Structure 1
């Protein structure tokens, strides 16, 4: 299925996949650190921070309420595993929320940009990650 005309190659299987990936944290500074780190590591093309939001959840047998900041990353299916690994390593929650939602449609130019920015060294070949960064 063609998802957006003119967009890049996407996943290794040849299908195009774009994702939004959500996480939350308890501090706006931590949210910005997670966002900036993912973009700098090129596991996401961008990240948007919203908050505070009120989260109500069960944790260790008790119902808790907390203010949190949401971070929504834009990435490709091919970079999801690297983004998840980054979030698990960088996040300070015992069990951080990491939820991926497929993007089923979008602007071809925007989705192409996501693919160009969320790339690993295996995607850019001999070019270093720093050389491929937009200024």
Structure 2
């Protein structure tokens, strides 16, 4: 069986926001700007983390952001600009496999409109 090298173009980007309003505003801004094809706003979660030497606890709203790797620099900049945290969690994971039609849609939705 022959395998081919594949560089993933699609990314799943994770971030958390402190409340529903900021999560909705960021999700909408990213899709409107074509920096994301889709953003899933998940149910609130409870986070425990160390920040500036202290153990912190917070309720946060996770976002799952689907984008194209070419859009990542602009996406990261947009998140940093709109995010209320001093150092927001921004983690990008490559999507190595997926339904071809979905991945084509993702690429089309994150490209400039024709």
TM-score (norm 2): 0.92
Alignment of 1:78-117 (within 5 A): 78-117=70-109
Alignment of 1:17-56 (within 5 A): 17-56=9-48
Please say if 1:57 is aligned against 2:49: yes
SS at match of 1:84: helix
What's the CA shift for 1:60?
1.0
Gaps of 5+ in 2: none
Distance 2:50 2:81 in 1: 23
Gaps of 5+ in 1: 4-14, 128-135
Distance 1:64 1:108 in 2: 41
Distance 1:82 1:51 in 2: 26
Alignment of 1:72-83 (within 5 A): 72-83=64-75
TM-score (norm 1): 0.78
Larger relative contact order, structure 1 or 2 (CA cutoff 8 Å, min sep 6):
2
Q: RMSD of the alignment, in Å?
A: 1.4
Q: What are the Cα deviations for residues 47-73 of structure 1, in whole angstroms up to 9, with x where unaligned?
A: 001121010000111001110000110
